Amino acid sequence: FAPRATRPSAGLAHSRVRMQAERINTQIDLDSPKVVNMLELEGKAVYCRCWKSATFPLCNGAHAKHNEATGDNVGPLIVTAKKD
Q: Does 55 bind its own copies (CB under 8 A)?
A: no
Contact string 12-51 vs its own copies (x = CB under 8 A) = x-x--xxxxxxxxxx--xxxxxxxxxxxxxx--x-xxxxx
The Cα-based distances of 56 to 12, 15, 25, 37 in angstroms read: 28, 32, 12, 10
Element (H, E) at 63: helix 63-70
What residues form DSSP beta bridges with 47? 58, 77
How far from the centroid of its chain's Cα atoms is residue 83's Cα? 27
CB of 60 to its own copies, least distance (A): 15
34 is an active site residue: yes
Active site residues: 34
Residues binding its own copies (CB under 8 A): 6-7, 9-10, 12, 14, 17-26, 29-42, 45, 47-51, 57, 63, 66-67, 69-82, 84
